[in-house]
Chains A and B, each alone.
Chain A
Amino acid sequence: MKAEEIFEKVRAKFAGDVATGFNDGKGGDRDAWFLVEPYRIEDVATFLKTDPELHFDYLECVTGIDYPDDKQIRVVYHVYSYVKRHRIVLKCLLDREDPALPTVSSVWPTANWQERECFDLLGVLFDGHPDLRRLLLPDDWEGHPLRKDYVEADEYHGIPTTRPNPIELFAIKVPSKAAPLADAKKEGGP
């Protein structure tokens, strides 16, 4: 099934502007995608999986991107059907200050950890997630590092997060490649 047909099918199924903004992926994006209203993502996911013609049985990836200029966080779902051999990408636009949307882990169980990762690194809250804890970073970590305005803390449990540059630390003179002899003469060398 072609991507445009998938989009039309989803749009016909749901009233209103649940699915909008189809992009066929020929303008540089590799995969065709369309936008989904965030609060309906679970219904759309259920439809994509259960409809016999669509039969999207595999959630490849859940990821998030921070767009501070647009004040948005976009959550992106790559879904694929092993049976029908077709793929589509869903995008949800969220408010950057309060990013939240329903979980799809009830539809595709693999979303459990992928949404945990998205929460860990971007701070997106997935409503109804059974176990929304940090996945990669330590539990006591502060902040969400993949946000563009993330500032690294000075230390973590007493471990400094910076290391002095040894060249500055020991004042090593690095001769310039262009005129190493001239530099040496200036400093009273040979």
Chain B
Amino acid sequence: MDGSKLNLMVPSAGYDARYADDQGSVITTRVDQTINWLLNWGRSNSIWYMLFGLACCAIELMQTGGPRGDFERFGSAPRPSPRSSDLFIIAGTLTYKMALRVRRLFDQMSEPRYVISMGSCSNCGGLFQYAYSVCKGVDQIIPVDVYVPGCPPRPEALLEGLLKIQEQIKSERYLQYRYGVGVTPEVSLLG
């Protein structure tokens, strides 16, 4: 770029040499950024969650799906199958007998998948953490993205958990790396 002409619409030469000859009539962006934005926009507004209630937190989960909480205004619809759902809300006390099933259901979900641990019991065992039959936290068997504290959490708390998941999805750069905010991709799909 000619240094004597100052054109703020042109990306800096170091940003991407491919667009060095553009003369400012068009705002350019990288195609993979656009696709990332589009994918994240679609994904974050269609987080389908699996119907999976374990204890009293499931009642609050139903309330959140009801007309006052209204989960679906964020595009989050309940699904009866792990294969078609993106979000796994562990709502309630998790026993060891159920923990093996949770692990299996999680394995059946397809990527990208997200997990909300809802309530004290699934966060750490909660009230029942000294019981012989209760798993001390769902994060001991599957990775958890968002912990929602409370016993049980109010619907507003679960809604905020969903918004946190949306934030996380919107910050993803799926074409480079799934968890990659600030991570240098090893392989870029678009070269």
Interface residues of A (CB under 8 A from B): 136-138, 145, 150, 152, 156-157, 159-163
Interface of B is mostly: loop
Q: Which of the residues B124, B129, B132, B135 comes within 8 Å of A159, measured between beta carbons?
A: B135
Q: For chain B, give the interface size range.
A: 10 to 19
Determine how close the nearest CB of chain A comes to the CB of B31; give it in whole angstroms. 44
* Chain A residues within an 8 Å CB radius of B129: 163
Interface of A is mostly: loop
Interface residues of B (CB under 8 A from A): 96-97, 99-100, 124-125, 129, 132-133, 135-137, 140-141
The residue in chain B whose Cβ has the minimal distance to the Cβ of A152 is B132
Given contacts A159-B140, A163-B125, A138 and B132 within 8 Å (CB-CB): no
Pairwise interchain contact B141-A159, C-beta atoms closer than 8 A: yes
Given contacts A145-B132, A145-B133, A159 and B97 within 8 Å (CB-CB): no
Determine how close the nearest CB of chain B comes to the CB of A142; give it in whole angstroms. 11
Cα(A136)–Cα(B133), bound, Å? 10
Q: Can you spell out 20 A-B residue pairs with CB atoms less than 8 angstroms apart?
A: A137-B97, A137-B133, A138-B96, A138-B97, A150-B132, A152-B132, A156-B96, A157-B99, A157-B100, A159-B96, A159-B99, A159-B140, A160-B136, A160-B140, A161-B132, A162-B136, A163-B125, A163-B136, A163-B137, A163-B140
Cα(A160)–Cα(B100), bound, Å? 13
The residue in chain A whose Cβ has the minimal distance to the Cβ of B94 is A159
4 cross-chain pairs, A with B, having the tightest CB-CB distances, nearest first: A163-B136, A145-B132, A138-B97, A156-B96
Cα(A159)–Cα(B99), bound, Å? 9
Given contacts A137-B97, A138-B96, A156-B96, A163 and B133 within 8 Å (CB-CB): no
Cα(A157)–Cα(B104), bound, Å? 13
Cα(A157)–Cα(B129), bound, Å? 18
Determine how close the nearest CB of chain B comes to the CB of A155; give it in whole angstroms. 10
* Chain B residues within an 8 Å CB radius of A152: 132
* Chain B residues within an 8 Å CB radius of A161: 132, 136
Cα(A159)–Cα(B100), bound, Å? 9
* Chain B residues within an 8 Å CB radius of A162: 136
Determine how close the nearest CB of chain A comes to the CB of B100; give it in whole angstroms. 6
Determine how close the nearest CB of chain A comes to the CB of B47; give it in whole angstroms. 27
